[in-house]
Amino acid sequence: MSKGLAIMTSGGDAAGMNPAIKVAAEYAASRGFKPWLVYDGLRGLIDDRFVEPDREMLSGILHRGGTLLRSSREKRFFDIGFRRQALENLKKRGIEKLIVIGGDGSFRALNQFYADFGIPFAGIPATIDNDIAGTDYCLGVDTALNMIRQSIDSIHDTATSFSRAFVVEVMGRHCGYLAMVSALSCGAEICLTPEVPYNLDSIGLRLQREIDAGRNHILAIAAEGTKMADYLTRWINDSIGMEARLTVLGHVQRGGSPTVRDRLMAYKFAVAAVDSLEAGETNSVMVFNEGHYSTRPIHEVCDSQYQIDPRIIELSTPLAQ
């Protein structure tokens, strides 16, 4: 009898999850596993929401954003009694291994599950914030950046047409990666993030010099974690004297058809996850660093502090001064 392997998504949705689901299920089957899909993340483990995937279910999902399996944040999983209930749901189907596509919170939950009952798992990093320690890339980042770029390019057209300033708030509660990369790639004049100290006085002097030299519009990017987007809009209007508007992109950043990069990364991460479980690894996260794919033990990932590439910080720092 084939050993069961369950695939689930957990935490915030990210483009690239569906390609990872498809590839993981199909590749696992080719390696002799019996794949199962779990709906609704950790909640589905507890509430017995398992399904055997067929060709029809997996076909046509590569181009879809979000996650076919849906997701949840389930507080009941912190209770050993509910984790034991999840274990029974696995055991009655012969499921001996898990693949979780999500962030470090999901990895921590599955690592506790492994500590309790010895069920091995492999983690595939997926979060648009790109803030998982130990990997340079997480699924969904490239698609999110392209959604942001498309929106900012459209806003830029309006800014130049009406000689206005626009402040765009992007996601990133604790990490300014999206804001930094978007600011650099879209030619913003201001970028405020949690990682880089900002000085509005020096920003104002710099912008005033540029306005005196002929600048007729301003584009500013603020990470939501700074909580500065609304204030920055009013500051530009009052201190710089340029009419300013605020655009909060919100959850549009999570959507969209996965880019080629996210589809390819999903393929490689999913294959690596199945291979790691087949090789006997028990609680590893798939990582990508400087062009190379490998695995890292969960404790190295969760016990480390994520750091944005210093080169990106260096390039974006002048936009905060």
CA dihedral of 263, 139, 14, 257, whole degrees rounded to 10: -20
CA 230 to mean position of chain CA atoms: 24
| Amino acid at position 265, single letter | M
Closest CA to 69 of 127, 17, 121: 17
> CA 133 to CA 193: how far, in whole Å?
18
DSSP 240: I
Q: Which one is catalytic: 13, 40, 104, 129?
A: 129
Closest CA to 246 of 233, 236, 235: 233
Burial of 197 (0-12, 13-18, 19+ CB in 10 A): exposed
Tokens matching residue 257: 């058809």
Scored b (16 or more CB within 10 A) or e, 29-68 reads: eebebbbbbbbbbbbbbbbebbeebeeeebeeebebbbbb
> CA 284 to CA 301: how far, in whole Å?
9
Looking only at the bridges linking them, the beta strands covering 95-102 and 50-51 are unpaired
- Annotated catalytic residue 129: yes
Q: Which residues are catalytic?
A: 129
